[in-house]
Structure 1
Amino acid sequence: MTTSPFVKLDGVAKRWNGQLGVEAISLDIAQGSFTALLGPSGCGKSTTLRLLAGLELPDEGKIWIDGRDVTTSAASDRNLSMVFQSYALFPHLSVAENVVFGLKVRRVPKKERQEKLHRALEITGLLGLEGRRPGELSGGQRQRVALARAIVAGQRLCLMDEPLSNLDAKLRNAVRKDIKKLQRDLGITVVYVTHDQTEAMSMADTVVLMKDGHIQQVGAPEDLYSRPKNTFVAEFVGAPPMALIASHVFSGFGTDKTIGIRAENIQIVPKGQGRMQCRVSESEFLGAETLIGLDHADASGLCVLKPGLSMMAEGREIDITFDDENLHVFDAAGHRLAG
């Protein structure tokens, strides 16, 4: 027996003065899952989140949360919490006052407020900081206050809009782990907007990749990486992105297709033994490996990974090879062909 999705968007569209926001967004989100809305700036991911939150109303389509049609419901009636990029904390209130503010507005009894506050501060590692104000906290601590506020709300659905973009790289990594652990421990459903594929791939059960207001692919992170539906997905997902090569470079593929290959599937071989001859454009030492960028007239994003420190001189001619089983084939329109 199949269960109904906890969150469902069916043919949702939003436009402003005729300009596209999002179009034909259909998406099922399971209860207790972590779904990332991923894509470049302006792709429609934040608009989709705002429609789900009730901060915008759709021009077309329907939205359901927990089996209830909330398409035209106010944000306050949707039984969800939100965590924003800006933290949205009151600067004149203490950590504790910020966390329980919503509970006070809803006239939750003081004893219950204190119990929920203690648990939320314990979960987020903020015990002992109750009396501080936001200005006395680090960026990571302020974001944890915002998370604690979402926890005490006790809602089963939490929407997060680029919550880590104001943090430095090291702190981002730490808070990312915090958020994922919180989601698992509390069993809540999270819909998380980000432009950072590392965040999406490392945190989410399901990634929804968007471009120009449309969904390009929905799936587990490994599906988008290993079986991209089109060349946009192939180039957006992965670091480094998938290289794309014109099919006429090889025999057996025809002349109107694009061939994709990941850097880890490319090998440098002795002169005369490769399938392609390229020129080294750059070498980037990454610690455990070295990324070597390659130039070829009929390819984009071509590179190879070598273990450890393996710098190569810019301009050097090298031969590369790869196995057919690691190739991805796309048609003239950029859509993945079977296989």
Structure 2
Amino acid sequence: MTNAPFVVIKDVAKRWNGQLGVEGITLKIPEGSFTALLGPSGCGKSTTLRLLAGLELPDEGKIFIDGKDVTTSAASDRNLSMVFQSYALFPHLSVAENVVFGLKVRRVPKKERQEKLRRALEITGLLGYEDRKPGELSGGQRQRVALARAIVAGQRLCLMDEPLSNLDAKLRNSVRKDIKKLQRDLGITVVYVTHDQTEAMSMADTVVLMKDGHIQQFGPPEDLYNKPNNTFVAEFVGSPPMALISSDGLAGFAEGQKLGIRAENIQIAPKGEGRLTCTITESEFLGSETLIGLDHEHATGLCILKSGMALMPEGETIDITFTDDHLHVFDAAGNRMAAQA
């Protein structure tokens, strides 16, 4: 992987009838990297991907791919491949025909098509399925066909729009690993849209978290988890999300501040010796640990994690404690205080 930006999105904006789509989007994506566009529905992540793909044209800003200004270029001129949520397979064509369809359209010689087809099927574990129709395949196999089609396209940039959202949890986990391995083995640049933070955090080198058409934070997954820019990032990233405590509930902090704390950094204290007294609202056994939800008048999202099976009765009051070192301090507007940057 090189450090030179392979994809550059600079001050891009898109609006429809005056309504915001995205605003001020600026990103530099190195070649060979995996970038995830993450956020809730309507945040602008798919719009950003469509602008990069050439399926939409920006109202402002510039887009460069491999040093070439493609801001107004047609999608077909951008030298990229796409994998969609819906697989976008032709039901009447076989697996092999679906995979090489684009190569046939481009009049790639038959021998070259066959070589690329075999390699793509081998990489995606689909050898032996060449003659099957999409209707005879599982959801995971269909998504692998879509991946094989992207591989034979041979493009250095691949855009993926929620490719796993139609799969069940077990298949999502399996295909997620396939996609990451493919990206590494082929050395391609992937820009991947998802609303699922587990996908983004486990697959991407860089996560771009969006809200209301704006980028809230971008960087390595661990930075978004450990150093959230604002309370939105703090509450969106992590499972369970970061709890927020009003400074009214803790001594020694300025009025109006919000204090963030992760569940793994909270401990149960002896009665009368904790920093907060909370009421247990739920206990959820997760296998290796138990998640215990807590209620406090000055906090949201408070919970603790205990190892193994450690259910506690709802309605019981407990004291909890934590150190200031583990607190994230946000100002009244919800932005991370500069001293912690």
Segments of 5+ residues of structure 1 without an aligned counterpart are none
Instruction: Give 1:280's aligned residue.
Output: 280
Report whether the alignment pairs 1:256 with 2:220.
Answer: no
Q: Distance in 2 between matches of 1:10 and 1:306?
A: 45
CA positional deviation for 1:235: 0.1
Deviation readout 1:275-314 (Å, 9 max, x if unpaired): 0000000000000000000000010000000000100100
CA positional deviation for 1:334: 0.3
Instruction: Give 1:196's aligned residue.
Output: 196
Deviation readout 1:170-223 (Å, 9 max, x if unpaired): 000000000000000000000000000000000000000000000000010000
Instruction: Give 1:316's aligned residue.
Output: 316
Instruction: Give 2:49's aligned residue.
Output: 49
State the one-letter code of the partner of 1:151.
I
Tell whether the 8 Å contact from 2:257 to 2:330 is kept in structure 1 after alignment. Answer: yes
Q: Distance in 2 between matches of 1:280 and 1:3?
A: 49
Q: Distance in 2 between matches of 1:254 and 1:82?
A: 49
Q: Distance in 2 between matches of 1:231 and 1:64?
A: 32
Q: Taking structure 2 as the reference length, what is the TM-score of the superposition?
A: 0.98
Report whether the alignment pairs 1:147 with 2:147.
Answer: yes
Instruction: Give 1:158's aligned residue.
Output: 158
Q: Secondary structure in 2 aligned to 1:251?
A: coil
State the one-letter code of the partner of 1:285.
F
Aligned length: 338
CA positional deviation for 1:4: 3.4
Aligned positions of 1:1-339 closer than 5 A: 4-337=4-337, 338-339=339-340
Tell whether the 8 Å contact from 2:95 to 2:134 is kept in structure 1 after alignment. Answer: yes
Between the aligned residues of both structures, percent identity stands at: 82
Runs of 4+ in 1 over 6 A off after TM superposition: none
State the one-letter code of the partner of 1:133.
K
Q: Distance in 2 between matches of 1:72 and 1:16?
A: 17
CA positional deviation for 1:3: 5.0
Q: Distance in 1 between matches of 2:109 and 2:145?
A: 21
Tell whether the 8 Å contact from 2:3 to 2:31 is kept in structure 1 after alignment. Answer: no
CA positional deviation for 1:18: 0.3
Q: Secondary structure in 1 aligned to 2:334?
A: coil
**RMSD of the alignment, in Å?**
0.7
CA positional deviation for 1:255: 1.2
CA positional deviation for 1:250: 1.6
Q: Distance in 2 between matches of 1:157 and 1:254?
A: 48
Tell whether the 8 Å contact from 1:267 to 1:304 is kept in structure 2 after alignment. Answer: yes
CA positional deviation for 1:267: 0.2
Deviation readout 1:53-80 (Å, 9 max, x if unpaired): 0000000000000000000000000000
CA positional deviation for 1:12: 0.2
Q: Distance in 1 between matches of 2:234 and 2:200?
A: 15
Segments of 5+ residues of structure 2 without an aligned counterpart are none
Q: Taking structure 1 as the reference length, what is the TM-score of the superposition?
A: 0.99
Q: Distance in 2 between matches of 1:307 and 1:5?
A: 43
Tell whether the 8 Å contact from 1:4 to 1:67 is kept in structure 2 after alignment. Answer: no
Q: Distance in 1 between matches of 2:197 and 2:121?
A: 29
Q: Distance in 2 between matches of 1:253 and 1:276?
A: 15
Q: Secondary structure in 2 aligned to 1:241?
A: coil
